[in-house]
Structure 1
Amino acid sequence: MGTHVIKMPDIGEGIAEVELSQWHVKVGDLVVEDQVLADVMTDKAMVDIPSPVHGKVIALGGQPGEVMAVGSVLISIEVEGAGNLKESDKPAPVAAKEPVAPKVETVVENKPAPAAAPRPAAVCQGPMVAREADERPLASPAVRKHALDLGIQLRLVRGSGPAGRVLHEDLDAYLAQGQSNASAPASAAYAQRNDEEQIQVIGMRRKIAQRMQDATQRAAHFSYVEEIDVTAIEELRAHLNEKHGVSRGKLTLLPFLVRALVVALRDCPQMNARYDDEAQVITRLGAVHVGVATQSDVGLMVPVVRHAEARSLWDNAAEISRLANAARNGKASRDELSGSTITLTSLGALGGIVSTPVLNLPEVAIVGVNKIVERPMVVKGQVVIRKMMNLSSSFDHRVVDGMDAALFIQAIRGLLEQPATLFVE
């Protein structure tokens, strides 16, 4: 028997250290080749660290939340044969320690998500599996997406695949077992509870917290809200989907909004900019790289549709869909999560009436989309039912004046209410 040492890999782009976000294994576990051992967090992206060998875990090189240098020992695995351990590779013993974290309260956060069907309420739970609260079970991206859509906490599902991997059949079995519990006495719902849960703020959650705090402390936020009649563009969207949906793919409202941003920015270029507040320099960009805020199971991510100004409606739609799937499955690269010039954020059907989005620094504008509702409106002296939607957008008042922000949003409004103008050159 020998020992195979896995060191913290060089993620690239000059990164010297990364944060160990989560272990998927513990000492004593048997692992197989390509099994994910840990998640590490760079400035922008979560990266899976797979096992290159079969073997047994004999030592872990760090604790979740710890910042580790590239090249430091991450994990040691006992393997058949000589292994790769050198004397200099032997890890120093890691003292066991309890994670320290503040108690957190359940809050409603500003977590934009792509326009899509809302996640269903959590289903009745079947028999639970004894896993730690931060333990991430093995599962393919498709299974994780399926569990998310069903409202199932994947860590509670017993996996029947290799190394305990959760399969689609396991989700079905969990649902079936949960339904048998539906007849339990209702009085259990009123039982007194005194349990508490402490959640360590690490990984993506820590990065989000830092970025949101940084943005609100540095930028002078102000918001501007305008209602838009989207009846005509929704009719156009339905017509295009009926005519071209099979051959070109279905369109959501998001690619129309991206197109409206591109056209409106031609007359309002100061919104497509980055502000370096240390150098006191505003950089206006010709390229429109639209960040599309996306909710994933590890937190808020902002994949970037590059050169939206050069893409067709369907090209933007396909790219939004591709990037959203990559972000939700944890497969988005650093390049795909950086470089935006303006951000679009939408809570979809959960969008509410008004929101106050936080800027994605160093950008100076973020356009927030609220839900579409049918309301009676007065049109040419007649009360008619129209589809209405609010845009709740925020700007950096250090570089964007209120009048300019209003003109920008009014330009978007005009384009969406008269959708033919989106395509008139």
Structure 2
Amino acid sequence: MTATMIKEFRLPDLGEGLTESEILSWKVAVGDTVALNQVIAEVETAKAVVELPSPFAGVVAALHEQPGTVVEVGKPIVSFEVEDARSSENAGSSNGAAPNGGAAPNGGAASQTDEAPANPAKREPNLVGYGAVVEHSGRTVRRARGTVRTDAVAPAAVPPATVPPAAVSPAAAPPAVEHETAADSGTGERPRSTPPVRKLARDLGIDLANVSGTGPGGLITREDVQSFSGARHEDTATDVAPSASEGERETRTPIKGVRKFTAAAMVQSAFTAPHVTEFLTVDVTATMDLLARLKGSKAFEGVKLTPLTIAAKAVLIALRNNPTLNSRWDEERQEIVQFNYVNLGIAAATPRGLTVPNIKDAHGLSLHGLATELSELTATARAGKTAPAGLSGGTISITNIGVFGIDAGTPILNPGEAAIVALGAVRKAPWVVNDELAVRQVMSLSLSFDHRLVDGEQGSRFLSDLGAILTDPAMVMTMV
């Protein structure tokens, strides 16, 4: 009889420090046999809907969370009954014996909590947040991000390691916490918070030094941070949709997923970067004429072209002469980082809330290529299928408020970016042309920028160049 073991699968970090995800649906049930990398669930992070692959081949033993539940990274979500790879090392032992010689519970199913497979040749998939798979001492183990091999350095040289919850084995002690010196502590240290809580505090712009911890030993918990920010809420399976009964005067909707992420990001941006917004209204009649000609050309047959397409290309061209707007402020290192590439963010209104996916290396695309990427980006975002990687790494953004009939606004910067352009509606309006009044098509442009990075002259020059291109597309010849 083949010996088996129980393996728990903990929710991994699905993209750049995300701290939690909501289980949208299970694609398997208890008792189902699954293959390696088979999709077992669909989860929603703060950035995207993601299909979760199975890290094991075996039988589903238990589903620990129900659809609609928000789960923190590192929490067990499903258990598998898998073949015990170590059973071959115990040839000659009786059926039902555990590898260590003791009786295995459940008729031969040995409980396995060590995340490291005993067979070095059998390498499991490496999911984000679980650390790289490395080999030493004759067997394969997982090294958590931020940890140090204690067998490779002297004990005195090993710094305190912060282990992501997803990298902790199921049998491990409570999650690693950040420590700081405390003179009133008998050990010289007191626990502060876990990595997910620190990430939440950063997103909300909260200094943990101002938060009182209610956890064991003064540990600052997630609830402490939410209470401090005035945004404490309950994430339960029963609160997955707005709740209101007939006759009630208000409806309550849980703040989670994209809306929660967006709110935290906007608060952080608004209270971290000093915003300045400038406005410019321009005559875009020539641009609209160009757009009509391009739509009728064979070169763009089957390609969706809109004012946003031309404006996006104009932004990329204007950045060449005004590169300071394509930068970010590195607070930790006290440096201004100027990007030599452009990942162009496009704000998209989706059923899940506002997202800002970006087109990687947009600066190298032709107008045809940019139009194609914009169409794919918009369709993917509206379907809620944008991958987490597509929502991070932007360098400058555009928000097209004109599609809602709005002329101008004061957009808030996407965190980590120096500027954002809002495109207003294209309207027919009286305009002075050659000292005579005429009906023209006009558009208002709004530019918000981080005044730490961009001064008034630089912002004004960029906006002026952008307006000049949209007023007379032939002006591009003087800028490239």
Q: Which residue of 2 aligns with 1:283?
A: 337
C-alpha separation in 2, matches of 1:402 and 1:246:
38
Residue 245 of structure 1 and its aligned partner are, at CA, apart by: 6.7
Please say if residues 6 and 110 of structure 2, whose CA atoms lie closer than 8 Å, have aligned partners that are also in contact.
no
C-alpha separation in 1, matches of 2:441 and 2:374:
24
Q: Which residue of 1 aligns with 2:111?
A: 87
Residue 24 (str. 1) matches residue 78 (str. 2) = no
C-alpha offsets along residues 34-76 of structure 1, whole Å, 9 cap, x if unaligned? Answer: 777441426x44423368999999643377334131xx42136
Residue 220 of structure 1 and its aligned partner are, at CA, apart by: 0.4
Aligned-residue RMSD, C-alpha: 4.0
Residue 8 (str. 1) matches residue 10 (str. 2) = yes
Q: Which residue of 2 aligns with 1:292?
A: 346
1:90-109 correspondence runs (5 A): none
Q: Which amino acid aligns with 1:48?
A: E
Residue 404 (str. 1) matches residue 458 (str. 2) = yes
Please say if residues 5 and 73 of structure 1, whose CA atoms lie closer than 8 Å, have aligned partners that are also in contact.
no
Residue 388 of structure 1 and its aligned partner are, at CA, apart by: 1.0
Residue 68 (str. 1) matches residue 57 (str. 2) = no
Q: Which amino acid aligns with 1:257?
A: A
CA distance change for structure 1 residues 286 and 212 in 2, over 3 Å: closer, same or farther? Answer: same
Residue 20 of structure 1 and its aligned partner are, at CA, apart by: 2.6
CA distance change for structure 1 residues 102 and 362 in 2, over 3 Å: closer, same or farther? Answer: closer
C-alpha offsets along residues 273-314 of structure 1, whole Å, 9 cap, x if unaligned? Answer: 111133221111221221111122222222222222221101
CA distance change for structure 1 residues 41 and 251 in 2, over 3 Å: closer, same or farther? Answer: same
C-alpha offsets along residues 318-374 of structure 1, whole Å, 9 cap, x if unaligned? Answer: 111112222222322233222221111112420412211101122111111111111
Please say if residues 374 and 387 of structure 1, whose CA atoms lie closer than 8 Å, have aligned partners that are also in contact.
yes
C-alpha separation in 2, matches of 1:57 and 1:385:
71
Residue 39 (str. 1) matches residue 43 (str. 2) = yes
Structure 2 SS opposite 1:262: helix
Structure 1 SS opposite 2:425: strand
Flag the structure with more relative contact order, 1 or 2, with Cα contacts below 8 A and sequence separation at least 6. 1
Q: Which residue of 1 aligns with 2:439?
A: 385
Please say if residues 325 and 453 of structure 2, whose CA atoms lie closer than 8 Å, have aligned partners that are also in contact.
no
1:299-338 correspondence runs (5 A): 299-338=353-392
Q: When the two structures are aligned, how many residues end up with a matched partner?
A: 330
User: Which deviates the most, 233-242 or 194-203?
Assistant: 194-203
Q: Which amino acid aligns with 1:231?
A: T
Structure 2 SS opposite 1:407: helix
Structure 2 SS opposite 1:198: coil
Structure 2 SS opposite 1:398: coil
Q: Which amino acid aligns with 1:205?
A: R
CA distance change for structure 1 residues 251 and 14 in 2, over 3 Å: closer, same or farther? Answer: closer
Residue 25 of structure 1 and its aligned partner are, at CA, apart by: 5.7
Residue 197 of structure 1 and its aligned partner are, at CA, apart by: 2.2
Unaligned runs of 5+ in 1: 93-99, 105-130, 136-152, 154-191
Structure 2 SS opposite 1:355: coil
Residue 209 (str. 1) matches residue 231 (str. 2) = no
The TM-score with structure 2 as length reference comes to 0.59
Percent identity, please. 29
Please say if residues 418 and 453 of structure 2, whose CA atoms lie closer than 8 Å, have aligned partners that are also in contact.
yes
Please say if residues 346 and 368 of structure 1, whose CA atoms lie closer than 8 Å, have aligned partners that are also in contact.
yes
C-alpha separation in 2, matches of 1:263 and 1:229:
18
Unaligned runs of 5+ in 2: 82-105, 114-169, 172-226
C-alpha separation in 2, matches of 1:245 and 1:313:
11
CA distance change for structure 1 residues 55 and 219 in 2, over 3 Å: closer, same or farther? Answer: same
C-alpha separation in 1, matches of 2:32 and 2:430:
61
Please say if residues 20 and 45 of structure 2, whose CA atoms lie closer than 8 Å, have aligned partners that are also in contact.
yes
C-alpha offsets along residues 130-188 of structure 1, whole Å, 9 cap, x if unaligned? Answer: x97736xxxxxxxxxxxxxxxxx9xxxxxxxxxxxxxxxxxxxxxxxxxxxxxxxxxxx
* Match of residue 349, structure 1, among 394, 397, 403: 403
* Match of residue 267, structure 1, among 295, 316, 321: 321
Question: Which structure's CA Rg is the greater one?
Answer: 2
C-alpha separation in 2, matches of 1:312 and 1:26:
41
CA distance change for structure 1 residues 380 and 423 in 2, over 3 Å: closer, same or farther? Answer: closer
Q: Which residue of 2 aligns with 1:171?
A: none
Residue 391 of structure 1 and its aligned partner are, at CA, apart by: 0.7
The TM-score with structure 1 as length reference comes to 0.66
Structure 2 SS opposite 1:314: helix
C-alpha separation in 2, matches of 1:238 and 1:32:
56
Please say if residues 225 and 392 of structure 1, whose CA atoms lie closer than 8 Å, have aligned partners that are also in contact.
yes
Structure 1 SS opposite 2:398: strand
C-alpha separation in 1, matches of 2:279 and 2:15:
39
C-alpha separation in 2, matches of 1:368 and 1:321:
19
